[in-house]
Amino acid sequence: MEPLKTPLVPFGDSHEFHDIFASLYPRLVSYARRYGATYPEDIAQEAFVILMQRDSPVDHPTAYLYGTVRTLSLTERRPLKNQSISLEAVVEPGKGPDADDDLLSQEVRERMKALSPTFRETLWLFVVEDLSIRQISEILDIPEATVKTRIHRAKAHLRNQLNSSGGLHVLA
């Protein structure tokens, strides 16, 4: 098939678009799976289409993609309109976290699970997805200060956890 030549916002030329898609798509699928989406691939693809469909460019395309995936996943999980789902129900239980956690050790998984869903979500985006605080604030639609607070609280929880279990060997 002949590759597309027309540049498309915000991906630039075809080659650049393929590289970015190849790097972000698996991450977005994994992120949708974390929210327990039934069809995480469809959601990740839809997020890309929505981004490319836009006329005006977005300031932070990565954050936009993650935010779209999050919204679509939560919407897919919502059987009735206006029915809210708790983060605990969204992130765990479900088949979602299993796939992501393949990349992490059992010990890390246990530590992440010990955190509250709110802190876990922020910490995951910051540490595992390697996103900035600014991007996380856009994805979760909360102020940057709140993101920082959550990260620092998660850090304190992790420290307490390590101190109580005497697991400082992880640092070593």
Angle, CA 94 vertex, CA 144 and CA 164 arms, to 5°: 65
Candidates 4-12, 32-40, 70-78, 85-93; binding stretch for another protein (CB under 8 A): 4-12
User: Is residue 99 close enough to count as binding another protein by CB under 8 A?
Assistant: no
CB-count burial class (<10 Å; 0-12, 13-18, 19+) for 169: exposed
Candidates 7-15, 32-40, 79-87, 89-97; binding stretch for another protein (CB under 8 A): 7-15
Q: How far is CA 35 from the centre of its chain?
A: 9
Looking at residue 172, what DSSP letter applies? -
CB-count burial class (<10 Å; 0-12, 13-18, 19+) for 46: middle
Single residue of 20, 74, 87, 142 touching another protein by CB under 8 A = 20
Contacts with another protein, residue ranges (CB under 8 A): 1, 3-4, 8-12, 14, 16-27, 30, 45, 48-49, 51-53, 55, 57, 59-63, 103-105, 107-108, 111-112, 123, 126-128, 130-135, 138, 151, 154-155, 158-159, 162, 170-171
